[in-house]
Amino acid sequence: MGPAEAAIASERLLRPGVPDSAAPGSAKVLLVRSAAPPLASSTLHLVPCGTDADWARYADARVAVEAGLGLDEPAARAMVAGLRARAARLPLQLWLAPGTDGDPVAAVAAFRLLADPATARLQEVDVFPGHRGAGRGDALLEAVRRLLVADGVTRLVLGADEDDWPLSWYRRRGFVPVARVPRA
């Protein structure tokens, strides 16, 4: 499976029936990167989010992220509930990066494509407010890359809105745009 096909296949697992192209200005850009070269020298310790308590800690942190984007608490908690449902369906694994107090400083999720198990789609890449600006984003990507490479992954896929800052951030880390799909 080629890079664009893998990227679109990963998006269709999240949003069945999504078209494989989009009009300019209203798209999510799908990006691909080889999993082989390291992204950073440092890494965060990641632990699987598996218990109800883990999910509650993640939900609390995610509420703070979404509040900064103008989303209210009930809507943010509904997003987390949707993510937990997708985690069961795909299967998608969410990892938390705990701080010294045990509360998460960052989180990232990933799932592998059944049609191409060497490809993993990254989701919910978040460094939480109060922990940004210290290289934790790079350390988070490196931590999940190491976990996935150890499990046989050779290609990473993710999506970013074309008019939002993460797109250029991912590009600076070696992710290359391969497709554009309509936003949800």
Taking the C-alpha atoms of residue 129 and residue 121, their distance in angstroms, rounded to an integer, is: 24
Q: What is the pTM of this model?
A: 0.91
Q: What's the mean pLDDT when you consider all of the chain?
A: 91
Whether residue 75 contacts residue 133, with contact meaning beta carbons closer than 8 Å, is answered with no
pLDDT band at 91, cuts 50/70/90?
confident
pLDDT of residue 181: 93
Structure tokens at 134: 């210290």
Inform me whether the pLDDT recorded for 184 exceeds 80. no
**pLDDT at residue 15 is higher than 80:** yes
Segment 108-124 mean pLDDT? 96
* Contact between 152 and 118 (Cβ < 8 Å): yes
d(CA 129, CA 65): 6
All domains in the chain, ordered by first residue = 3-182 (3.40.630.30)
Residues 124-182: pLDDT tens digits? 999 888 777 877 899 999 999 999 999 999 999 999 999 888 899 999 999 999 999 98
The b-or-e profile of 105-121 (16+ CB within 10 A means b, else e) is bbbbbbbbbeebeebbb
What pLDDT does residue 57 have?
93
- The CA-to-CA distance between both ends of the chain, in Å, stands at 24
